[in-house]
């Protein structure tokens, strides 16, 4: 009777739940300081002296645990092993719910439920490959068949090496299974941006935007349930006036995370952008999120367009999108809306851009020639494209690069082999066709020809020993002589051939040569369509592997640099020098003449700046080494070895007439070194030490002389925000 009356008031289902569900019983929250005080017994070293306070030394950030502590068997790294065993308890509820993360190896990195000494349930973390995530996630065991039995939990780490650890937290007996469900919220789009809170290390979740019942965008995001590391954004103005449904998979039903989402015509924390501690000051970096290869580099109507591999939703690689920035001088960049988002064919991997001056595509309008982006549709790299292979696609802009439309019959080049990708397309004047150079599979690259960018025919193949990814192909005069040209084929690691290209086949005339000797130089690309009266071949590379801890962005580009072919005693070689446009950033100049170098470092007056453009000439004299220390990093030339070394890397460099020249660009988190007018080039990233600001020069083994050292302080190029 009582039940019936209650049901009338509050609804039958709620009552049914209240009657069926007894309160949860906490088995362990691991909020103790030591194992001793807990009643759990520990063996081995892996579990340490007690529950860990989050992340352990040298571990990726551990997230997803509750409270302050958790079981974390990464004490001493992956190698140590051990077990952790609970006191016996009686199974009194239908489910055992818990958080688990770490290694995914059955029997080796796992939690077992034992009844009568037998393993009756087992669970592991999710990771078996390098990479992965240290986020803990919920799991449930249905233990209805074990009700009333005495049980013991055993957490096992018997594995050494990659992902040889296990993380566990918050074990509860419950009558309710922890269920991860899809949650959703409807928003009326009246603003440009949707704001998204990100917490790096939070469980990676799939988020979908649905407009008018159609899924319009889908991406993975470490959605912050509380305290975001930063806010990012995605443009939603294409659906202005409509209802946009935002859905996230695999969330706890009572999650309130979607309540935090907001819309705005700007985005949160935008005013702090570029003021961050590790933000490059005159190298391009994205406002938010991850960046890798430069893509689609093209000049059109007074503007340089730099597209780039971009994860707008997090600071790790993923969700590959083409970000976009424009500039009139290649120094001051303005980030635009993202140009290409993933679709059913895949995420948008690297590729190139060009202007279709002759309207071979037929897409020209009265106002604009088509700008065409040729890219890899990386099938299988997103939920939507599961099972698709890597193919090549195109998109075009007829508004000067403001917006792009994907060609409706993509892909334009079907899958050929493996992870074939990174099409670089040029107009080959003598044979009047478009030529694509494409990475097939290490070490194979191929050339294709097309009259209209839509249909492609294979022309030939080229092997680049150990060559990999992101090819480039261009023609350059030798020593500035337009009558004497060569072609260059380039691959991602900056190794290149000089040779001949007849529109069909590339024939190398040099061995494979090196051009990038620094630690952080990869996947460079050159601009298409630089006007003839300029005539320069201008390249930008991704400064791979730079570190920017705790920043809302990740990675930076090199400065733009000019490539030339020059005759050297070794043969024709590529020279790489920064673009002259950098001079616009120079402020105060400190000139040093006739500096005598010896073992005691000589301090160079450099004002109170931290950003420098340094030009130095060193006459080697009697010295065995000469060099310069920049913010605590040594750049040194060894006369005996004929080697230039900088930040742990070395490059062969021949002194000319007893001297070497150095051009050094110093940004907040990078140093680029160009020696002997670009004969050698080294790009490096570093983490700045606020106390190390000095510039000093030295020589060892005997005196040397620097006839001139110019130090310009630079102003930040303060890239305009999106």
Closest CA to 53 of 39, 76, 36, 34: 34
Q: Residue 149: how many CA atoms within 13 Å on its side-chain side?
A: 16
Binder among 157, 293, 356, 619 for ligand FRU (CB under 6 A): 293
When asked if residue 470 is in the footprint of ligand FRU (CB under 6 A), the reply is yes
Neighbouring CB atoms inside 10 A of 224's CB total: 20
Please identify, using beta-carbon distances, which residue of 543 and 628 lies nearer to ligand FRU.
543
Which residue do the tokens 């960049």 mark? 333
When asked if residue 539 is in the footprint of ligand FRU (CB under 6 A), the reply is no
Phi, psi angle pair for 202, to nearest 5°: -65, 155
Please identify, using beta-carbon distances, which residue of 384 and 619 lies nearer to ligand FRU.
384
Minimum distance from residue 452 beta carbon to ligand FRU (Å)? 24
Please identify, using beta-carbon distances, which residue of 473 and 675 lies nearer to ligand FRU.
473
The side-by-side arrangement of strands in the sheet containing 262-264 is 230-235, 193-198, 262-264
Minimum distance from residue 421 beta carbon to ligand FRU (Å)? 5
| Residue 576-615 contact track with ligand FRU, rule CB under 6 A, x = bound | ----------------------------------------
Which regions of 104-179 does DSSP assign to beta strands (E)? 109-115, 118-124, 137-142, 150-157, 166-174
Minimum distance from residue 404 beta carbon to ligand FRU (Å)? 17
Binder among 218, 292, 515, 525 for ligand FRU (CB under 6 A): 292
* Gap between the Cα atoms of 693 and 697, Å rounded: 13
* Gap between the Cα atoms of 310 and 100, Å rounded: 30
When asked if residue 421 is in the footprint of ligand FRU (CB under 6 A), the reply is yes
When asked if residue 219 is in the footprint of ligand FRU (CB under 6 A), the reply is no
Which residues make Cβ contacts (< 8 Å) with residue 652, sequence separation at least 6? 642, 643, 644, 680
Closest CA to 697 of 689, 688, 707: 707
The string of DSSP letters for 467-519 reads --S--EEEEEEETTEEEEEEEEEE-TTSEEEEEEE-SS-EEE-S--EE---SS
Give, as ranges, the residues between 244 and 283 that touch ligand FRU (CB under 6 A).
none
**Length reported for the chain:** 722
Q: What three-state secondary structure class fits 272?
A: helix
Between 2-10 and 12-20, two packed helices, what is the crossing angle to 10 degrees? 130
When asked if residue 321 is in the footprint of ligand FRU (CB under 6 A), the reply is no
When asked if residue 555 is in the footprint of ligand FRU (CB under 6 A), the reply is no
When asked if residue 146 is in the footprint of ligand FRU (CB under 6 A), the reply is no
The answer to whether the beta carbons of residues 61 and 134 sit under 8 Å apart is yes
- Dihedral angle sign, alpha carbons of residues 176, 177, 182, 183: positive
How many residues sit close enough to ligand FRU to count as binding (CB under 6 A)? Answer: 13
When asked if residue 469 is in the footprint of ligand FRU (CB under 6 A), the reply is yes
Please identify, using beta-carbon distances, which residue of 554 and 676 lies nearer to ligand FRU.
554
Please identify, using beta-carbon distances, which residue of 311 and 327 lies nearer to ligand FRU.
311
When asked if residue 81 is in the footprint of ligand FRU (CB under 6 A), the reply is no
Minimum distance from residue 436 beta carbon to ligand FRU (Å)? 14
Q: What angle do CA 429, 435, 441 make, to 5 degrees?
A: 155
Closest CA to 189 of 215, 209, 160: 209
CA distances from 685 to 283, 558, 635, 664, 671 (A): 11, 10, 14, 13, 6
The string of DSSP letters for 536-565 reads -EEEEEE-TT---TT-SEE--BPPPEEEEE
Beta bridge partners of 595: 706
Give the active site residue among 169, 229, 293, 356: 293
- Annotated catalytic residue 399: no
Q: What angle do CA 349, 199, 316 make, to 5 degrees?
A: 25
Give, as ranges, the residues between 507 and 526 that touch ligand FRU (CB under 6 A).
523
Binder among 46, 135, 136, 320 for ligand FRU (CB under 6 A): 320
Binder among 229, 356, 422, 491 for ligand FRU (CB under 6 A): 422
Give, as ranges, the residues between 325 and 364 that touch ligand FRU (CB under 6 A).
349-350
Phi, psi angle pair for 18, to nearest 5°: -65, -35
Minimum distance from residue 544 beta carbon to ligand FRU (Å)? 7
Residue 283 is classified by DSSP as: S
* Gap between the Cα atoms of 530 and 476, Å rounded: 13
Please identify, using beta-carbon distances, which residue of 492 and 709 lies nearer to ligand FRU.
492
Cite the active site residues. Answer: 293
Per CB under 6 A, residues contacting ligand FRU are: 292-293, 309, 320, 349-350, 376, 421-422, 469-470, 492, 523
């Amino acid at each position: 009777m009582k039940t019936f009356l209650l049901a009338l008031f509050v609804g039958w289902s709620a009552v049914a739940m209240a009657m069926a569900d007894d309160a949860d019983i906490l088995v362990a929250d691991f909020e103790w300081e030591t194992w001793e005080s807990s009643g759990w017994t520990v063996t081995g070293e892996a579990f340490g002296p007690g529950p860990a306070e989050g992340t352990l030394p040298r571990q990726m950030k551990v997230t997803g645990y509750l409270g302050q502590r958790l079981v974390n068997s990464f004490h001493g790294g992956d190698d140590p092993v051990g077990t952790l065993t609970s006191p016996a308890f009686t199974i009194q509820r239908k489910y055992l719910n818990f958080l688990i993360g770490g290694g995914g190896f059955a029997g080796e990195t796992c939690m077992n439920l034992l009844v009568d000494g037998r393993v009756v349930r087992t669970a592991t973390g999710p990771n078996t490959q390098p990479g992965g995530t240290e986020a803990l996630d919920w799991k449930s065991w249905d233990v209805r068949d074990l009700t009333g039995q005495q049980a013991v939990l055993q957490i096992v780490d018997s594995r050494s090496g990659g992902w040889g650890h296990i993380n566990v937290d918050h074990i509860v007996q419950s009558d309710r299974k922890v269920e991860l469900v899809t949650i959703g919220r409807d928003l009326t789009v009246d603003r440009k941006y949707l704001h998204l809170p990100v917490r790096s290390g939070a469980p990676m979740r799939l988020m979908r935007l649905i407009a008018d019942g159609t899924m319009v965008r889908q991406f993975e995001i470490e959605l912050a349930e509380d305290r975001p590391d930063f806010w990012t954004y995605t443009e939603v103005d294409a659906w202005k006036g409509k209802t946009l449904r935002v859905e996230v998979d695999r969330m706890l039903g009572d999650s309130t995370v979607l309540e935090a989402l907001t819309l705005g015509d700007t985005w949160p924390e935008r005013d702090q952008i570029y003021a961050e501690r590790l933000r490059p000051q005159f190298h391009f970096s994205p406002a938010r999120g991850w960046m890798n290869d430069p893509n689609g580099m093209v000049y059109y109507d007074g503007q340089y367009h730099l597209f780039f591999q971009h994860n707008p939703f997090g600071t790790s690689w993923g969700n590959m999108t083409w970000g976009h920035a424009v500039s009139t001088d290649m120094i001051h960049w303005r980030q635009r809306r993202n140009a290409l988002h993933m679709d059913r064919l895949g995420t948008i991997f690297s590729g190139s851009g060009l202007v279709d001056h002759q309207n071979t595509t037929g897409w020209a309008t009265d106002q604009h020639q088509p700008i065409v982006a040729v890219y890899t549709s990386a099938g299988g790299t997103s939920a939507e494209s599961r099972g698709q292979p890597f193919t090549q696609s195109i998109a075009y802009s007829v508004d000067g690069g403001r917006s792009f439309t994907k060609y409706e019959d993509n892909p334009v080049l079907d899958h050929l082999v493996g992870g074939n990708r990174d099409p670089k397309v040029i107009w080959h004047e003598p044979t009047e066709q478009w030529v694509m150079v494409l990475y097939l599979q290490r070490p194979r690259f191929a050339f294709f020809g097309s009259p209209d960018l839509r249909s492609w025919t294979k022309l030939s193949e080229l092997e680049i020993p150990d060559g990999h990814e992101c090819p480039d192909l261009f023609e350059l005069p030798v020593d500035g002589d337009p009558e004497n040209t060569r072609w260059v084929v380039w691959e991602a690691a900056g190794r290149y051939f000089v040779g001949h290209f007849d529109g069909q086949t590339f024939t190398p005339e040099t061995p494979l040569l090196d051009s990038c000797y620094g630690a952080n130089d990869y996947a460079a690309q050159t601009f298409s369509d630089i006007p003839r009266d300029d005539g320069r071949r201008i390249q930008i590379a991704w400064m791979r592997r730079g570190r920017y801890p705790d920043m809302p962005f990740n990675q930076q580009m090199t400065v733009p640099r000019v490539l030339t072919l020059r005759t050297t005693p070794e043969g024709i070689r590529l020279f790489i020098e920064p673009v002259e446009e950098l001079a616009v950033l120079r402020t105060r100049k400190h000139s040093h003449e006739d500096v005598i170098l010896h073992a005691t470092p000589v301090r160079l007056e450099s004002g109170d700046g931290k950003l420098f453009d340094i030009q130095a000439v060193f006459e080697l004299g009697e010295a065995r080494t000469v060099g310069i220390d920049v913010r605590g990093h040594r750049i040194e030339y060894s006369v005996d070895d004929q080697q230039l070394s900088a930040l742990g890397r070395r490059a062969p460099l021949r002194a000319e007439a007893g001297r070497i020249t150095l051009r050094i660009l110093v940004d907040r988190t990078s140093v680029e070194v160009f020696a002997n007018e670009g004969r050698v080039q080294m790009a490096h990233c570093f983490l700045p030490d606020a106390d190390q600001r000095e510039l000093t020069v030295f020589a060892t083994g005997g005196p040397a002389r620097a006839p001139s050292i110019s130090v310009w302080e630079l102003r930040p190029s303060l890239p305009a925000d999106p």
